[in-house]
Structure 1
C-alpha cells in the first residue's frame, strides 16, 4: 500500500482535486435546480475513477516519450530497457535509475581512460625494448661499414655483439607471440601427469650456474621424499618455474636464498610457492607486476636483461590452466609468488 501511494501520488492528488472541484460545482447546480441530489455520490466516484485512469495513463505516456528520447539521444541506456517494465509517475525511482546508469557510464569512461594510459605506456615500453637492441645492432654495423671491418679482431667482436642484439630482438618477439597466442586461446596445452618435485629439481639444475654468480642458494623448504603428481602441461609449467626462479635470482640479494615449497591443499589442488629474500616490491606496484613490459624500476635501467615479459607469460600460462597465481611482497624483505595446480589422482 505504501508503494502504491508513492507510485501513483500525482494521479491520486490530481484526480482528487478534479473530483472535489467538479462535485462541488455539481452539488451547487443540483441544489439550485432542486433535483437529482442522489446522483452526487455516484457521480463523484465515477469521476474520480475516470480521472485517475486518464491522468495516470497520460502522465506515464508523457514521461515515457520524453525520457525515452533522452535515453536515445544520449545513449545512456539501451532504449529496449524501457519497454521491459512500465514507467510510472514515481519520479524519485526514475531519477534513481538514471543516476545509477550515469554512475555506471562514468565508471566505464574512467576505466577506458585508465586502459588508454596503460596502452600508451605499453606502446612506449615496446618501443623502448625494441629500440635498444635495434640501435645497438645498427651502431655496430655502421661502424663496420665505415671501415672497421678491415680489422679482423674488431670485425669479429662487433659481429658477435650485433648477433647478441638480434638474439634479444628474437627473444622479445617470441615472448610477445606466445602471450598473443595465450590471450586468444591459440596455444594448445598438452596436459599430462608428472612429478612436480622432479620438475623443480630440473629447473634448479638448469639455473644452478646463474644462481652461483650471485651466490644465491636454490633450495626446497623441506626434503620431499615422495613424488607429488599433478595434471598440467609439463613444458609450460617448467617455463613458469624457470621464469619465477630467474626473476628471484635477478632481483635477489647476493648470498641470498630462493626457496620452493609445494603444499597439498584441500580436495584436488596443490600450491607451489617460490620465495626469495631479495629487493621486494612496494605495494603500489603489486597490482601491475604481471603487465607486459611493466618495470618496477622506473629509472629505465636494463642491467638485469630479459624481455620484460616473463611474469606476464607466467600469469597467462597459469590462467590457461584455469588456475590462479598470487604474489606477496614487502620492499626490502623479499617476494613470494605462488600458483595452484590440479593434483593427479
Structure 2
C-alpha cells in the first residue's frame, strides 16, 4: 500500500507536483481540445511545481532539520557530518528524521535519569560518610574533653574513658582502611595472588574466629548436609577469607537469637564453584535488595538495630569477587532470612 508518510523529499515533491499538474493540465486539455497542449501543460506544470516544492523543502524545512541535528550533536560539524547533512539527510523521510529525534530524546532521558541517580547516590554517600566519621570523632572528643576538665585525676574514670576513646579511634582507623581498600579495588591497584585452596577450610576458620561473637548472639554455625566434601577453588585466599568473614559477621549482626547460619558449597559446572552463606535472621525487604552492596547503605531495619561497623563490608565483598571475574548475589525475605552467594574458579592444574 502506498504510504505518503515514508516518502523522501524528492518523492514527496514529485508526488505533490503530480497531484497539482494532472487536474490543471486536464482542465487545459478540455478547454483547448488539443492533447499536445495538454501534455505540454502537464510537463511544464509538473516540472515547475516539482522544483518549486523541492526548493521550499530543501531551503526551509530541511534547513531547520539540519539545525536540529546540529543541536543534537552539540558540536561544530565535522567534514563527515557536513557530508551527511548535504547528501544523506535530504534523502531521509520526515518519519526517519522523527525516529532519529525520538531516539536522541530517549538517550537524553536515560542520561538524565543516570545523572539523577548518581546525584542521589553521591548525596547519600556523603551524608553516610559524614555520619560514620562524625560518630567516633565526636565520641573521642567528648571523652578527651571530660578527662581534661578534671576526670583525668579520677582513677575510677580516666582508664575507662581512655579505653572508650581508644575503641572509637580503632573504629575510625578501620573505616579509613576499608575506604582505602575499596578505592584500590576500584582503581585496580589491589593485586590478587590466586592459589588453589579448600574453600571449606576458609569457612571453618571464619566460623572459629567469630565463634565467641556468635555464642553471645546465641547463633550456631553449620555446613549444609552434603556440602562437607572438600572443594578446591583458585582465588586469592586472603581476600576470600575477608569476604567469607564479612558475610558471616553480617549474618550474626542481623540474625535472631537462637538462630543459625548455614554454609553451602556447590560444584555448579566444570569451571565454577558456588559458595553461599544463609541465615534465618530479620531478612531484607525486596525494595532494598539492589542497594545492599552500596557503600554505607543500611536498610530501615538495619538502622534500627544496634549494629557496629564501617558499613562498607558488603561493598568490599562485591569489589573483591568482581576483581576475581565473578559475581555476588543475594536472596532474602523479611522475617525468613537471607542468603548471599558468590562464585569462584575451580582449581587450576
Does TM, scored on the shorter chain, surpass 0.5?
Answer: yes
Cα separation, partners in 2 of 1:63 and 1:192, compared to 1, 3 Å: farther
* Contact 2:243/2:320 (8 A) holds in 1: yes
**Residues 44-69 of structure 1: CA deviation (Å, up to 9, x unaligned):** 45864675467446524533321222
Q: After alignment, is 101-110 or 87-96 more displaced?
A: 87-96
**Residues 108-140 of structure 1: CA deviation (Å, up to 9, x unaligned):** 212322221221111111111110000000000
Q: Which residue of 2 aligns with 1:116?
A: 119
* Contact 2:291/2:297 (8 A) holds in 1: yes
**Residues 251-276 of structure 1: CA deviation (Å, up to 9, x unaligned):** 11112110011111123111101000
**Residues 222-276 of structure 1: CA deviation (Å, up to 9, x unaligned):** 2556421111111111111010000001111112110011111123111101000
Is 2:69 the counterpart of 1:68? no
Q: Which residue of 2 aligns with 1:20?
A: 22
Cα separation, partners in 2 of 1:17 and 1:116, compared to 1, 3 Å: same
Unaligned 5+ segments in structure 1 are: none
| Count of matched residue pairs | 341
Q: Which residue of 2 aligns with 1:199?
A: 202
Unaligned 5+ segments in structure 2 are: none
- From 10, 13, 16, the counterpart of 1:11: 13
Q: After alignment, is 96-105 or 78-87 more displaced?
A: 78-87
Q: Which residue of 1 aligns with 2:295?
A: 292
Distance in 2 (alpha carbons) for counterparts of 1:255 and 1:216: 5
Distance apart, 1:10 and its partner CA = 2.9
**Residues 55-109 of structure 1: CA deviation (Å, up to 9, x unaligned):** 4465245333212223434667996779284344632332233223223312321
Is 2:306 the counterpart of 1:303? yes
Cα separation, partners in 2 of 1:288 and 1:224, compared to 1, 3 Å: closer
**Residues 153-176 of structure 1: CA deviation (Å, up to 9, x unaligned):** 322221111111111011111111
Superposed CA RMSD: 3.1
Distance in 2 (alpha carbons) for counterparts of 1:270 and 1:221: 15
Distance apart, 1:38 and its partner CA = 4.3
SS at match of 1:294: coil
Q: Which residue of 2 aligns with 1:137?
A: 140
Cα separation, partners in 2 of 1:45 and 1:230, compared to 1, 3 Å: farther
Is 2:240 the counterpart of 1:237? yes
Provide the TM-score with structure 1 as the length reference. 0.87
* Contact 2:140/2:165 (8 A) holds in 1: yes
Is 2:255 the counterpart of 1:257? no
Distance in 1 (alpha carbons) for counterparts of 2:76 and 2:103: 14
Distance in 2 (alpha carbons) for counterparts of 1:304 and 1:343: 35
SS at match of 2:344: strand
Q: Which stretches of structure 1, 4 residues or longer, exceed 6 Å deviation after superposition?
A: 76-82
Any residues of structure 2 matched to 1:195-344 within 5 Å, and which? 195-222=198-225, 224=227, 226-297=229-300, 300-301=303-304, 303-344=306-347
* Contact 1:293/1:309 (8 A) holds in 2: yes
* Contact 2:6/2:95 (8 A) holds in 1: no
Distance in 2 (alpha carbons) for counterparts of 1:100 and 1:245: 47
Q: Which residue of 2 aligns with 1:59?
A: 57
Any residues of structure 2 matched to 1:163-178 within 5 Å, and which? 163-178=166-181
Q: After alignment, is 119-128 or 146-155 more displaced?
A: 146-155
Distance in 2 (alpha carbons) for counterparts of 1:206 and 1:223: 24
Q: Which residue of 1 aligns with 2:164?
A: 161
Q: Which residue of 2 aligns with 1:148?
A: 151
